[in-house]
Amino acid sequence: MTVRTRIAPSPTGDPHVGTAYVALFNMAFAHSQGGQFLLRIEDTDQARSTPESERAILDALHWLGLDWDEGPDNGGDKGPYRQSERSEIYREHADQLLESGRAFRCFCSSERLDELRATQMADKQQLGYDGHCLHLDKEEVAARLSKGEPHVVRMQVPREGQCTFDDMLRGEISIDWAQIDLQVLLKEDGMPTYHLANVVDDHLMEISHVIRGEEWINSAPKHILLYQYFGWQRPVFCHLPLLRNTDKSKLSKRKNPTSILYYQRMGYLPEALLNYLGRMGWSMPDEREKFSLKEMLEVFDIQRVSLGGPVFDVEKLSWLNGMWIRDELSDEQLADRLQEWALNRDTLMAFLPFARQRMETFSDLASLGNYLVSGMLPISADDLKSAGMEEDQLIEVLQFALWRLESLQQWNRDNIFNALKAIADAMGIKLKPFLAPLFIAIAGSSASISVMDSMDLLGADMSRARLRHAIELLGGVGKKKLKKMEKAYQAIS
Ligand code: GLU
């Protein structure tokens, strides 16, 4: 058997370090078995998937030095490797399941499903579909179909007994069937859900080992059942431990930057970031901390993965990055890397149209543009308070601006301006005082160029990270306060 593994990102946001981590282990395992590693884009969620996100994910993984044998950018004979180009295949497979009685059409309205959910929650019952349309007779289904009634296709799932399967790292896992929902396979718009598309593709792309994050363990029974329904041999499952924040909670952007683009912008070396990801739950046989991808691939053994949640600690990453800079790069190479990073003509050309208005001598450039090539700025809570806003409102302005900017699909000056103006208006604050603390959070001083232009130049990840940093400097937002703020934010957005 040829070992084939894959990474299957959904292009719905920034390229996540967790995606790179899972990709690295898939690639290393395929390599250790003389197999192949491929990349598939899971963009069945049409509302949330964007071509920009797909591009950013591919670029970020390539930047790290990860390459795949087959994928949407380099082709292969099991393509297309983008799920939105395969809808016909999923529809045919859903039809097969309908014909064999393994799936059924469900005409329940969203109102009915909302009501069902509310009742189940009130009665503290297990949430899930109650099987209302499970036994509709053929004539009724045909009549409703001919009237064009909207519906979804759901899979049949046993209500009794357990699903037991082997995980390559965890051994035997058992999950009660009663916990598994009668999963929707095809949505009302005819697009598949993740579960159907993922299984069909893993089979057709001849994936032998599904190596993915542990958050998918509870989905495995649905997948195993689908393999069984289709009469296919199922791949080996391997669920990697989730990356964690230093407080052991699941790695989240509220506590840690999670976007690879952030680490790129901060000036981490791709080799060091990949090295650090390789140490997440895995170690070299000689326990050395600094190693290259090539060295990791030479000795990789997946059984050395340990399941205790690996902590992604930015301070440790920085320490490792420093070692890489000192030990691996000559001055010449370092100069090249710095130029590649940000000390180049592109950065200068983007900034000069703004900077020239404020320059008297060339040397003014350093103080004007310092924040563009910095990481987190050396500002204090007092600096932020000097914007003249009362503390509660100050945190609210920063947090609301952050939430609004997190939902921006396209990062450019006009969109940033419109987003911030909308929040300022909704909060009843004039734009100038509203922007004052943002100037300090983003550029370190209110004397910088327009904060919208600064954010555009800095990019989404660094801008958001600085807003988060400013909120932290003010003492952060506790859980209770966060809930209250979320409500207030929803009321005005
Ligand atoms: N599209 C899923 C994700 O983004 C893939 C999960 C899997 O590997 O099965 O994580």
* Tens digit of each residue's pLDDT (9 = 90 or more) over 148-176: 999 999 999 999 999 999 999 999 999 99
Residue 1 pLDDT class (50, 70, 90 cuts) = confident
Choosing from 10, 57, 242 the residue with most ligand 1 atoms within 8 A of its CB, the one to mutate for a pocket test is 10
Q: In whole numbers, what is the pLDDT of the chain averaged over residues?
A: 95
Tens digits of residue pLDDT in 331-348: 999 999 999 999 999 999
Atom of ligand 1 nearest to the CA of 7: 8
pLDDT at 257: 87
Q: How many CB atoms lie within 10 A of CB 183?
A: 24
Query: Percentage of residues in the chain with pLDDT exceeding 70?
Result: 100
Q: What is the mean pLDDT of residues 88-96?
A: 98
Q: Which pLDDT does position 393 carry in this prediction? A: 93
Known catalytic membership, residue 253: yes
User: Is the distance from the beta carbon of residue 201 to the nearest atom of ligand 1 less than 6 Å?
Assistant: no
Answer yes or no: are the C-beta atoms of 455 and 463 closer than 8 Å.
yes
pLDDT score, position 252: 84
pLDDT on residue 253:
79
Q: How far is the CA of 197 from the centre of ligand 1 (A)?
A: 11
pLDDT at 212 exceeding the cut of 80? yes
Percent of the chain with pLDDT over 90: 92
Q: How far is the CA of 126 from the centre of ligand 1 (A)?
A: 25
Write the pLDDT tens digit of every residue in 367-388. 999 999 999 999 999 999 998 8
Residue 64 has pLDDT above 90, yes or no: yes
pLDDT at 354: 94
Atom from ligand 1 closest to the CA of residue 202:
9
For residue 201, pLDDT beyond 90: yes
Q: Is the per-residue pLDDT at 227 higher than 90?
A: yes
Structure confidence at residue 427 (pLDDT): 95
Q: Is the pLDDT of residue 222 over 80?
A: yes
